[in-house]
A and B are shown apart, each in its own frame.
Chain A
Amino acid sequence: MRLIVLWLVPAIAALATGLVPSPRVTRWRVAVLVGAAALHLGVTVSLWSSPGESALNGWLGDDPLGLLVLTLVSTLFFVAATYTVGYLRRATPRGGRVFVSGLLGFLAATTLVALSQHLALLWVGLEATTFTVAPLIFHRHDRRSLEAVWKYLVISSVGIALALLGIFFLATAQHGVPGNPLILGDLLAHAGELQPMWLRAAFLFLLVGFGTKMGLAPMHTWKPDTYGEAPALVGGLMAGGLTSCAFLGVARITEVTMRAGLGPFVQPLLIAFGLVSLATAAVFILGQGDLKRLLAYSSVEHMGLLVLGLGLGGVGAYGTVLHLINNGLAKGWLFLVAGNVVLATGTSAASGTRGLIRTLPASGILLVMGLFAVTGSPPFGPFLSEFTILRAAVGGGHVWVAAIMLFLLAAIFVGMAVLVLGMALGEPATDAPAERESAWLLAGPIALAGLVLLLGLYIPAPLQRALAHAATALGGGAP
């Protein structure tokens, strides 16, 4: 019942805010948005105290991995919803009707992905995210956002189409095997009987297809343009929530193939995609001139780390699941701060922006802290998860993987530090006094920063259990 509520509330709210033609009443729409987000978060938290629900003949369920993704998306969305209150006061093209409705539709679609135990249903949800965010990317209605949305639509539609082919391959692999078709639990129970050739083909197509939605290199080309042009809070929801949902798709097929004993086929592919993504991110981060595009390449980097940990196996799988949470929260934090910078200065380009710590004290400090968090410095959460992945590489005998990873992470740190510190420090171009920033625009990033810091210092017991379960399902284990 709760699972249906989780999915239906945002879907109905999206329809209501989209269909009711009242151009003036932005306030009403924002109230619906925040209300739906709060309700969603409340129900999600209640799932932690009494999990194990399923609905629609077992098509929806809350297994540990799905619940982790759901909680991440729900938290991020609630924060983004409160941020929207402040954002729409400053920038309201066309009354915010399409914007609020698109955001709620996005929440409905991502919830469906997180709860799907049926892989084709997961696909339907993930495809639905593509066109719920399209109007959000096109929010400004200018040439640049038009180009961004076209690239995004074409590349991710082709990716997701290939993933559908992969789903059909998986159904073919399951032909004649007992159990309900494409239900995750039944696939896992009879994984050994799946036709290995079709299963391999399915893995390849799903990795490339969902990898495109994740933004793994070399299928990442839509990402800098999309995150660069979309409003920052949309970028945050995509880099933190949408990519995590796409990763869930990759994780599901990895679960099945690992259980079927295809680890030697699957793992090198995941490691290769991980390293290529890290390298691509490093190349484009060095010398990058735009804050939001920088964050986009940072997202490519972290997606690479996720599949790298998955490919390394063992404690790497645990590191990956933990990193999924850390990266999601940290990306939300940084994008929202970048949004504050854009609202104040009118641009996310680095050239000409100096001394943010003086002109925007709160956002400036949050930006510098975020730099250290997202590049994996202690005491923030990403340090812990990246270190776990590194340990898996060394422990598993992949010393060269560990060496390349360390080198690339160092290069990425340098590239990001140059741009972010250049914007934050120095003499401001104008002598204007420090701006008073809206509480609505600061509460969200501060809350996310607190969570990322907390995860670096202490992991609560229920979360620890869920992480361990998810890691075991992915063929690894807790350290």
Chain B
Amino acid sequence: MQTTAELLLLLVVLTDLAVLGSSRLRTCIRAVAAQGLLLGLLPVALASRYTVHVVALSAGTVVVKAVVLPLFLLWAIREAAVRREVEPLVGYIASLLLGAAAVAAGFAIATRLPVPDVAEPVLVPVALATVMIGLIVLTTRRKALTQVVGYLMLENGIYLFGLTQTESVPFLLEVGVLLDIFAGVFIMGIVVFHINREFDSLDSSHLTELRD
């Protein structure tokens, strides 16, 4: 099972980079959906035995992160009639380089930390890298919807780290966390919808009226 998990984690990194390097909002959302699917498969790939807990966690993750949220975001861009504009503050090549640096940093930090031996060794570095890349997308993209994509990636990275702790975090709480993230993204999506109607643009840099 070790190798399957490693393959899945490698693909997670590729979806990270796909978001960083793409200029189309739809591609970004599809990449995040793919990442959600990979995240959903990981608990099964990592588990030594298939308990109800593991299977339910997988199913819940796939439904929320790979199906419902991406469909909702795609609905939001269709309603808002936007296609291409990711509008980065930092160019795509520079973004990719930053992403590569994040992956390297993830590995460098993880090897210095006393990582608990239960975990798959690549899990913690990929988790940290995904958290950092999520933050990069959040801060270097102007479109409100792309920032939501960055937030989702940030949450995905944290979820990956959480997989090292599946025994200690009970199922009920995982449901709570998933629900919270779902509701958070849902409300962000609704706000994005209003931003578009109010400003005829999804550009969050129009939001500059409030200042001291």
Q: How far is the CA of A201 from the CA of B114 in the complex (A)?
A: 12
B123-167 contact mask (Cβ, 8 Å, vs A): 1 or 0: 000000001000100100000100100010011001001101100
Q: How far is the CB of A452 from chain B (nearest CB, A)?
A: 28
Q: Which residue of B lies closest to A195 (CB)?
A: B114
Query: Which residues of the other chain, B, contact A123 by a CB distance below 8 angstroms?
Result: 177
CB–CB A143/B209 < 8 A: yes
Query: B1 in the interface, Cβ–Cβ < 8 Å?
Result: no
B153-195 contact mask (Cβ, 8 Å, vs A): 1 or 0: 0110010011011001100010011001001100110010011
Q: How far is the CB of B87 from chain A (nearest CB, A)?
A: 16
CB–CB A154/B162 < 8 A: no
Query: Which residues of the other chain, B, contact A147 by a CB distance below 8 angstroms?
Result: 207-210
CB–CB A171/B204 < 8 A: no
Q: Given A198-B113, A284-B212, A153–B191 Cβ distance below 8 Å?
A: yes
Query: A344 in the interface, Cβ–Cβ < 8 Å?
Result: no
Query: A128 in the interface, Cβ–Cβ < 8 Å?
Result: yes
Checking B138, B144, B176, B210 against A144 with a beta-carbon cut-off of 8 angstroms, the contacting residue is B210
Q: How far is the CA of A121 from the CA of B173 in the complex (A)?
A: 7
Q: How far is the CA of A118 from the CA of B195 in the complex (A)?
A: 37
Q: Given A124-B177, A171-B168, A288-B212, A157–B158 Cβ distance below 8 Å?
A: no
From 247 to 267 in chain A, residues with beta carbon under 8 angstroms from any chain B beta carbon are: none
> Can you spell out 25 A-B residue pairs with CB atoms less than 8 angstroms apart?
A120-B177, A127-B180, A130-B184, A131-B184, A138-B191, A143-B198, A143-B199, A146-B198, A146-B207, A149-B191, A150-B144, A150-B191, A150-B195, A151-B207, A158-B135, A158-B151, A161-B158, A164-B162, A165-B161, A168-B158, A168-B165, A172-B164, A174-B168, A225-B210, A228-B210
Measured CB to CB, the residues of B under 8 A from A are 113-116, 118, 131, 135, 138, 144, 147, 151, 154-155, 158, 161-162, 164-165, 168-169, 173, 176-177, 180, 183-184, 187-188, 191, 194-195, 198-199, 204, 207-210, 212
Measured CB to CB, the residues of A under 8 A from B are 118, 120-121, 123-124, 127-128, 130-131, 134-135, 138, 141, 143-144, 146-151, 153-154, 157-158, 161, 164-165, 168, 171-172, 174-176, 181-182, 195, 197-198, 201, 224-225, 228-229, 284, 288, 293
Q: Besides A124-B173, A151-B210, A154-B138, 11 other CB < 8 A contacts?
A: A121-B176, A146-B194, A146-B195, A146-B207, A147-B208, A151-B207, A154-B151, A164-B177, A168-B158, A176-B116, A225-B210
